Amino acid sequence: MLPFKLIYSDEYYLPIGQHVFPAEKYRRVHRQLIESGIADRSDFVTPQPASDQDILLVHTPHYVEKLKAGTLSAREEMQLEIPYSPELVHAFWLAAGGSILAAQHALKNGVALNIGGGFHHAFPDHGEGFCMINDVAVAIRRMQRDSKIRTAMTIDCDVHHGNGTAAIFAGTRTVSEPLPSSGPAGLGRKPLMRGTHAGDVFTISLHQENNYPAQKPPSSIDIDLPDGITDDDYLAWLDNALSSGLRQFTPDLLCYIAGADPYREDQLGGLALTIEGLKRRDELVFRVAKAQSVPVMVTYAGGYARKVEDTVTIHCNTVEAAGEVFAPRPSLP
Ligand SMILES: [Zn+2]
């Protein structure tokens, strides 16, 4: 049994038919986690859909109304890049509920994983790039509303820039609290790292520069990676970004968006990480979170490997990595 919880529902499946997004990956990850012995059935908890009130902490009433009434325009549905249905709306409300539950369990146990979510391309007033609702942003705002946390940091390792998350938290400064005193001075001089300021949520995105989305609204730290970057360089940049972020900002919760698409066999990505490199990436994030005593919640985001089983393995490895860092086996005498 794992010393942390995995949040999962069979209803995470996205009813989008034949699509480059392998909607069946959630069920396959769930099955493989159990069959491989990485997790027990008792490690899983089932989420409830987020309430409309939760969704409205991030999204505009007009957008939420359109989703519920099924009145997106053809252009809006095209931008979403997945076919609208009321069942799809349910799946996104459920993913957001799953991320809320993951945040709650992470605050209790130090770490928790949502076996879904990570829909980082959703903006307050529209969805795009297969993302309807920004579940991570909803979870952060809900934890803040419940006074469970004051600050949060997102570390987005999907191959695509976290544009929705960056836009949602851009320039959000708490009114009652002073701004962080240490600014991101010096970051701008590094070739790949861009930095702006942070308010109560500090956003970090490591992504392939030459990829969707064309417009990348500034995160607190953006690492614009060149095409074809391999394991060691990627891990050095991740280490760099995490240490830089944590020098500037003290989060009450770390939200790790563990996209499987920096993988070298990904159909929508142009980086060249191996499956082993991606597991080392997960371990690095978990080790840093543990060393700094920051609770970490995980979401899965994208993964479009030519072979779906590779995406499934990468996602399962994230759970295994969490197990190795947070429940290390006792060393032999
Ligand atoms: Zn992606």
What's the 3-state SS for 12-24?
Answer: HCCCCCCCCCCCC
Range with lowest mean pLDDT among 15-24, 62-71, 123-132? 15-24
pLDDT band, very low/low/confident/very high, at 195 (cuts 50, 70, 90): low
More confident position, 196 or 253: 253
Ligand 1 centroid from CA 303, angstroms? 6
Ligand 1 centroid from CA 330, angstroms? 36
Ligand 1 centroid from CA 256, angstroms? 14
The pLDDT tens digits for 114-162 are: 999 999 999 999 999 999 999 999 999 999 999 999 999 999 999 999 9
Chain centroid to CA 275? 18
| The token pair that represents 271 in the structure block | 């980086």
- % of the chain residues with pLDDT over 90: 88
Ligand 1 centroid from CA 259, angstroms? 6
Range with lowest mean pLDDT among 53-62, 244-253, 324-333? 324-333
Flag whether pLDDT at 39 surpasses 50.
yes
Ligand 1 centroid from CA 91, angstroms? 18
Ligand 1 centroid from CA 194, angstroms? 20
Flag whether pLDDT at 247 surpasses 60.
yes
Range with lowest mean pLDDT among 84-98, 185-199, 305-319? 185-199
Side-chain half-sphere CA neighbours of 316 within 13 A: 21
Ligand 1 centroid from CA 165, angstroms? 13
Looking at residue 218, what is its pLDDT?
93
The residue type of 88 is L
- Closest-CA residue to 94 (of 116, 112, 120): 116
Ligand 1 centroid from CA 161, angstroms? 8
Ligand 1 centroid from CA 169, angstroms? 19
Ligand 1 centroid from CA 270, angstroms? 11
* 138 φψ region: left (φ > 0), alpha (ψ -120 to 50), beta (else): alpha
The pLDDT tens digits for 160-186 are: 999 999 999 986 544 333 334 333 444
Looking at residue 193, what is its pLDDT?
63
Ligand 1 centroid from CA 84, angstroms? 20
Ligand 1 centroid from CA 1, angstroms? 31
List residues, by chain if needed, whose CB lies under 5 Å from ion ligand 1.
158, 160, 259, 261, 302
Ligand 1 centroid from CA 114, angstroms? 17
pLDDT band, very low/low/confident/very high, at 197 (cuts 50, 70, 90): low
Range with lowest mean pLDDT among 93-97, 168-172, 286-290? 168-172
Tell me the chain's radius of gyration from C-alpha atoms. Answer: 18
Arithmetic mean of pLDDT over the chain: 92
Looking at residue 289, what is its pLDDT?
98
The pLDDT tens digits for 254-279 are: 999 999 999 999 999 999 999 999 99
- Closest-CA residue to 97 (of 138, 165, 57, 49): 49
Ligand 1 centroid from CA 147, angstroms? 31
Sheet strands (E) in the chain: 5-7, 44-45, 111-114, 152-156, 193-195, 201-208, 221-225, 254-257, 296-299
Ligand 1 centroid from CA 31, angstroms? 23
Ligand 1 centroid from CA 315, angstroms? 13
pLDDT band, very low/low/confident/very high, at 327 (cuts 50, 70, 90): confident
- Give the C-alpha distances (Å, rounded to integers) separating 230 from 227, 288, 310: 9, 21, 17
